[in-house]
Amino acid sequence: MSLIAKTPKPPYYAVIFTSHRSVHSNGDDGYDEMAVRMEELASQQAGFLGVESAREEVGITVSYWNSLESIKNWKANTEHQQAQKNGRSLWYSNFTVRICKVERDYCL
Amino acid sequence: MSLIAKTPKPPYYAVIFTSHRSVHSNGDDGYDEMAVRMEELASQQAGFLGVESAREEVGITVSYWNSLESIKNWKANTEHQQAQKNGRSLWYSNFTVRICKVERDYCL
């Protein structure tokens, strides 16, 4: 269940990961299990602030972090590195990752 | 059909709009028609670079812009203002808007 992330007062950082799943993948190929595990693992990292995720034709996952260093450390995490490798070879036909500084926010 | 946006070399700007639909809304209440119209209208604004959108439990729409001024102008657009008003009163139970500077990106 993905909710709207409760993030602190800006500035903080966002990683926007937009993807298309590979149509050639053999059934699930461990994708769903990986996605759950990566969200769990990310939430344990220093500097993690929250995550939001939805998929229709395109999948969008936005994770929020307190610094660029925490994003860098998460990218370098060993288990995450293996997921990134499988993502490139197996799960995604294409994706874009955007590293952003959140400058302002407001809510309803 | 939402695709991965083709954006220029950073820096550019992103507006992350994350929302929950109101459970009290009466049928569709014009929501789908508005969503299509707003995407069409946004794409005609100066400085618009692209948009990505998906909804499951949470809805995430990320629009990309070449400047903070283009985001400000889009927010002030008369037809968009009416949609924002209906969004607050009718379509959404809660939402968060985050204005971000995209500092870096990479693709598969």
In a domain, A12, yes or no: no
In a domain, A10, yes or no: no
Q: Complex ipTM, two decimals?
A: 0.94
In a domain, A107, yes or no: no
- Residue B108: half-sphere exposure toward Cβ, Cα within 13 Å: 19
* Interchain pair A100, B103: CB under 8 A: yes
Name the E strands within chain B: 12-21, 48-55, 59-65, 92-107
- State the pLDDT at residue B97: 97
User: Cα separation of B48 and A42, whole Å?
Assistant: 32
* Interchain pair A19, B4: CB under 8 A: yes
Other C-beta atoms within 10 Å of B39: how many?
Answer: 14
pLDDT in tens, chain A (108 residues): 569 999 999 999 999 999 999 976 666 788 989 999 999 999 999 999 999 999 999 999 999 999 999 999 999 999 999 999 999 999 999 999 999 999 999 998
Q: Which of B90, B89, B76 is nearest to B30 (CA)?
A: B90
Contact A61, A52 (CB under 8 A): yes
- State the pLDDT at residue B29: 83
Q: List chain B residues with CB under 8 Å of A58.
A: 2-4, 52-54
Q: Would you call the peptide bond into B11 cis, given omega within 30 degrees of 0 as the criterion?
A: yes
The DSSP secondary-structure symbol of A79 reads H
Residue type, B3: L
B92: three-class secondary structure by DSSP:
strand
* Interchain pair A97, B88: CB under 8 A: no
- Which of A7, A18, A56 has the CB atom closest to B55's CB atom? A56
Contact B65, B71 (CB under 8 A): yes
State which H helix or E strand residue B43 sits in.
Answer: helix B31-43
Q: Residue B27: give the domain boundaries.
A: 12-102
Domain count, chain B: 1
- State the pLDDT at residue A29: 83
In a domain, A108, yes or no: no
- Look up the CATH number of the domain holding residue A65: 3.30.70.100
Q: Which of B33, B11, B30, B21 is nearest to B105 (CA)?
A: B11
Q: List chain B residues with CB under 8 Å of A59.
A: 54
In a domain, A94, yes or no: yes
B73: three-class secondary structure by DSSP:
helix
Interface of B with A (CB under 8 A): 1-5, 7, 10, 14, 16, 18-20, 52-60, 62, 87-88, 92-108
Q: List chain A residues with CB under 8 Å of B2.
A: 56-58
Q: List chain A residues with CB under 8 Å of B20.
A: 3-4
* Interchain pair B57, A18: CB under 8 A: no
In a domain, A17, yes or no: no
In a domain, B24, yes or no: yes
User: Cα separation of A77 and B55, whole Å?
Assistant: 29
In a domain, B31, yes or no: yes
Residue type, B34: M
pLDDT in tens, chain B (108 residues): 569 999 999 999 999 999 999 976 666 788 989 999 999 999 999 999 999 999 999 999 999 999 999 999 999 999 999 999 999 999 999 999 999 999 999 998
